[in-house]
């Protein structure tokens, strides 16, 4: 009888151990649905997140190429669990709040409001900042001593501006520049398609153009210079993982995994990755894998 009881206890112990082990590993084998917007940079960062989670034992479902106008609804409606978002987008487009230009204040604002309104957590933001900016030909900038937008405004009469049309009318475009920096009386101003601006600059058809500060073409620092927004008129667009609270609570390891990725993403890194896809025509999955492998 004693032997039978002992065997029963052993069997019960083994069953409990198996159940506990299964519960302990469940978090690491959860399937995480990672989304992305439909442009190079967001696809790249989303894929890097996916690789980092897979390396730690998570199963990942990629739900990529979501239109920027739909991706917020996708996470709110439980169609995806996380994706890379931009602090400025969260502040202005999603929350519809007033302009703030201090990166940390913007981050804390979106972090608090997303938690309150959507039960979504912003993990650490990267220093990489895909903000609005102005790009100038490097040789012209050197010749005229231009490094800031204030310098540009003083020399506007000597410079040819390559506009994208809407920039001249958009509230946060030329009207905002003029309001803060003063009028820009360009030597000439012509409208070009946004996708052609670097060709226009390269072909010496213009000297200055609106840009985003992590575009791949900016890797060529001998040709192009992004001017310093010395009066800080544009909000920061730092990239960060955002994740539904219930998913993070069930899988707390995700926080440290993705925060380590954010710590590695600065402007020069993102510009290089974008350039490999947009200029060198490599597949974004290949570029993301090469970058993630380089972190090990």
- Considering only CA atoms, which of 134, 145, 146, 110 is closest in space to residue 239? 110
CB atoms within 10 A of CB 35: 25
CATH class of 132-226: alpha beta
CATH of domain 25-129+237-295: 3.40.190.10
Query: Which of 45, 35, 48, 123 shows the shortest CA–CA distance to 74?
Result: 35
Task: Give the model's pLDDT for residue 29.
Answer: 59
Q: Which residues pair with 120 in a beta bridge?
A: 244
The domains of the chain are located at 25-129+237-295, 132-226
Per-residue pLDDT of the chain (296 residues; tens, 9 = 90+): 444 444 445 444 444 444 444 444 434 457 999 999 999 999 999 999 999 999 999 999 999 999 999 999 999 999 999 999 999 999 999 999 998 999 999 999 999 999 999 999 999 999 999 999 999 999 999 999 999 999 999 999 999 999 987 788 877 788 889 999 999 999 999 999 888 999 999 999 999 999 999 999 999 999 999 999 999 999 999 999 999 999 999 999 999 999 999 999 999 999 999 999 999 999 999 999 999 999 98
Indicate if the alpha-carbon torsion angle 171, 173, 178, 183 is positive or negative: negative
Q: How far apart are CA 258 and CA 124, in angstroms?
A: 8
Alpha helices in the chain, H assignment, sequence order: 2-26, 40-55, 71-76, 87-89, 103-118, 138-144, 149-154, 166-169, 174-181, 197-202, 245-250, 253-262, 267-278, 284-295
Q: Which among 94, 86, 83 has a CA at the least distance from the CA of 35? A: 83
Q: In this structure, what token pair is assigned to residue 175?
A: 């009207």
Q: At what angle do helices 267-278 and 40-55 cross, to 10 degrees?
A: 110
Are 111 and 122 within 8 A, CB to CB?
yes
Q: Are strands 120-122 and 239-244 parallel, antiparallel or unpaired?
A: antiparallel
Q: Which residue has the tokens 């995994």?
A: 257
For 98, residues 6+ apart whose C-beta sits below 8 A from its C-beta are: none
Q: What's the confidence (pLDDT) of residue 188?
A: 96
This prediction's pTM: 0.86
Whether 25-129+237-295 shares its CATH topology with 132-226 is answered yes
Cβ proximity of 247 and 81 under 8 Å: yes
- The rounded distance, in Å, linking the Cα atoms of 131 and 38 is 17
111-158, pLDDT tens digit by residue? 999 999 999 999 999 999 999 999 999 999 999 999 999 999 999 999
């Amino acid at each position: 009888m004693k032997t039978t009881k002992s065997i029963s206890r052993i069997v019960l112990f083994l069953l409990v151990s198996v159940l506990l082990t299964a519960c302990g590993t469940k978090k690491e084998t959860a399937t995480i649905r990672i989304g992305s917007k439909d442009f190079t940079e967001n696809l790249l960062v989303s894929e890097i997140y996916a690789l980092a989670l897979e390396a730690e034992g998570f199963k990942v479902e990629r739900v990529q190429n979501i239109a920027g106008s739909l991706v917020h609804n996708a996470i709110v409606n439980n169609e995806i669990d996380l994706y890379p978002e931009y602090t400025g987008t969260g502040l202005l487009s999603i929350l519809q709040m007033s302009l703030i230009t201090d990166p940390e204040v913007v981050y804390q604002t979106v972090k608090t409001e997303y938690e309150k309104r959507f039960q979504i957590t912003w993990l650490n933001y990267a220093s990489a900042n895909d903000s609005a900016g102005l790009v100038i030909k490097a040789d012209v900038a050197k010749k005229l001593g231009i490094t800031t937008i204030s310098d540009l405004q003083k020399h506007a009469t000597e410079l040819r501006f390559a506009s994208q049309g809407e920039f001249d009318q958009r509230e946060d475009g030329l009207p905002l520049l003029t309001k803060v920096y003063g009028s820009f009386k360009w030597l000439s101003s012509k409208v070009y398609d946004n996708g052609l601006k670097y060709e226009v600059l390269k072909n010496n058809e213009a000297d200055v153009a609106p840009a985003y500060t992590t575009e791949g073409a900016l890797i060529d620092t001998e040709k192009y210079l992004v001017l310093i927004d010395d009066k800080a008129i544009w909000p920061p667009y730092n990239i960060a993982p955002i994740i539904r609270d219930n998913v993070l609570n069930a899988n707390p390891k995700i926080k440290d995994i993705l925060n380590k990725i954010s710590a590695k993403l600065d402007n020069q890194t993102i510009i290089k990755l974008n350039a490999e896809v947009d200029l060198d025509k490599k597949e974004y999955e290949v570029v993301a894998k090469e970058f993630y492998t380089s972190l090990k």
